[in-house]
Amino acid sequence: MKNPADGEPDPNDHEQTLICDQPTTLYVTTRMSDAPNNATSVVRSFLWETPPDPDVAAGIQQMMEAIVTAGDGNQRSLRRGRVGATSAA
């Protein structure tokens, strides 16, 4: 993202794109940036080509819905401090 003060990219923002080419071209982009209260904003974008085969297209749609649902659940767990928590030994 651009810094509104000078229009330059914010050095604290990070973006990563996963590209898949089978069974269709698929892009999943994750953007992380600083948020208020010492938090991190995470935004994901999903873009894919609809395959011509209706069965494959339905499978891709189901897969993407599952990924979004799982990601939302992980985000909620992170906010509650449950994912990746470790205890001191």
> Is residue 34 a contact partner of residue 12, using CB atoms and an 8 Å limit?
yes
Per-residue pLDDT of the chain (89 residues; tens, 9 = 90+): 555 566 666 676 789 999 989 888 889 898 988 888 888 888 888 888 899 999 999 998 898 888 888 877 776 676 676 545 444 44
Residue 43 in tokens = 């935004």
Q: What are the backbone angles phi and psi of residue 79, rounded to the nearest 5°?
A: -65, -25
Q: How far is CA 34 from the centre of its chain?
A: 15
What is residue 50's DSSP assignment?
Answer: P
Residue 45 in tokens = 């974008």
